[in-house]
Amino acid sequence: MNICRVLSLLLCALCLGGCMTARYTSETVPHLAQKHWVDERDVIITVTRCVPRLKYSSTRDEALERYAKGVRRWYAHASDNGKDVDAGVRALNYVHKIHKDAKGARSLWKKVLKEARALTDAEGLPPPEGYK
């Protein structure tokens, strides 16, 4: 009986440790030393409003531009204007997660990234070329 108790406590400790490790190594959350993060409320509101509008031709251009400008702004802020590319990529991963949660297609995400890179007069920074 003592052995069973010890084994169950050990198993619980391992599971809890695994959960905590997964929490901090996720690619969609800021790392512990990261100084800047996106305004999550702004990301959620913008993405959930723009994704459905991207599906209709009458609102597509406006929504695409708004979404792309947001991506540039969020990437610039999280990466500290390009100083911490890893932090910026984590922010983009978070935006992509919200995009998927809003039922956004992969092709729409690619269009948004392409537009964000193409905007030259918008504030912020374009996502890195290698990021998909």
- Share above pLDDT 90 across residues of the chain, in percent, rounded to a whole number: 55
The answer to whether the Cα torsion of 20, 26, 30, 32 is positive or negative is positive
Q: With beta carbons less than 8 A apart as the criterion, state whether 92 and 75 touch.
A: yes
Average model confidence (pLDDT) across the chain = 84
pLDDT tens readout for residues 45-72: 999 999 999 988 899 999 999 999 999 9
pLDDT tens readout for residues 112-129: 999 999 998 888 999 988
Mean pLDDT of 36-48: 93
User: Domain boundaries in the chain?
Assistant: 1-28, 31-132
Cβ-based neighbours of 126, under 8 Å, separated by 6 or more: 72, 75, 116, 117, 119
pLDDT band at 107 (very low <50, low <70, confident <90, very high): very high
